[in-house]
Structure 1
Amino acid sequence: MSGTVLGHDGRLRCRWCAAAPEFLHYHDAEWGFPVSDDFRLFEKLCLESFQSGLSWRTILAKRENFRSAFCAFDFNRIAQFDGSDVERLLKDEGIVRHRGKINAVINNAKRAQELVKAEGSLATYIWRFEPRQEDCAEPQTASTSAASISLSKDLKRRGWSFVGPTTVYAFMQAMGLINDHASGCEIRASVEQARAEFHRPA
């Protein structure tokens, strides 16, 4: 079936998850399942920005190092980072050492604090941009959407950086705001059920 690959266990999955062994668990247990935890949402936005120009395999392999370096993506702690932290991170071989992206995480942590103060939680704000099913493209045929463009523009207006529409679309795919598993992928139904049972933050 187009867009899918048959795994060693006889299950059809999205074709991309066969590109690397570490993708399998990520695909089956994380990608597309809805998330309302503020720190996980912030983490994913940060990791997607680090991925820009790189492969997701590179970022996924370094994810635990990123979590260690950035205080488990607790934006309240990251917001306190200063120049010495930037220099420390630039010397950390376990992460992607890109000054602009590191500075963006620190800036965005402060912006996340502002959003929580204004909206109650980052999740409440993010899930407001969940698109209607009828407005979603066919699975894995788009790299941006009206919803990702809207969220990207609003984040930028609020002072966030490294949050372009493509980055935001990948974030929305991963965090379950859309179900972008291929139509023949056996995980698609599990994600759809999880989305149906998910309590949207209010």
Structure 2
Amino acid sequence: MADPFLALERALTRQTGTSSDFDLNPDVVMPEGRKLRPAGVLVPIQMLGDVPHVILTKRSSHLKHHPGQIAFPGGKQDKDDADVIAAALREAREEIGLPTELVDVIGTLPTHETVTSFSMTPVLGRVRDVFDVNPEPGEVEEVFSVPLSHVTNPAFFSIQSRRWQGRRRYYYTVPFGPYYIWGATARILRGLAERVHTQ
């Protein structure tokens, strides 16, 4: 059986450009001189039996930004964080109780610009062992996992749309069971899927 983490390491060596929440909406004109804040999100990959899974969260429905959406654990880089990787690991510890010492960082994907003016760096990490999941009260409603093979298969992605701020906005989705994975999370996973399937 092929090592899925070796395949991910190879995928990270392939060159692709940055992404943004506006990739499928070329008519959106971004303001010049905008200042993006650095952020890091962890893409935690854990073996469940013989199958690698990606750990995701469902954000609380009471949050001001992106309520109820599916997201990676992560957030903005604080002044005490050495870099965006440290920010992603810290946020994963705070949001889902993932001990930093259990994560082997595999590498990073290109940055993703969000509608909330963050330059977000996805950090791929191998979770070496099981841990006691502890969702952060008030911020994380649920922690769940999806097979890596599902979110790295381009065939499972589709483009959907909805009206947002008076115009139709298009975005990627990669649904799994009851979970509607879309927006920045789906776009980042789509970029990873493209790398995994590039020969």
What is the TM-score normalised by the length of structure 2? 0.31
Q: For the pair shown, which has the larger CA radius of gyration, 1 or 2?
A: 1
**Per chain length, whose mean CA-contact separation is higher, i.e. which structure has more relative contact order (CA < 8 Å, sep 6+)?**
1
**Larger relative strand fraction:** 2
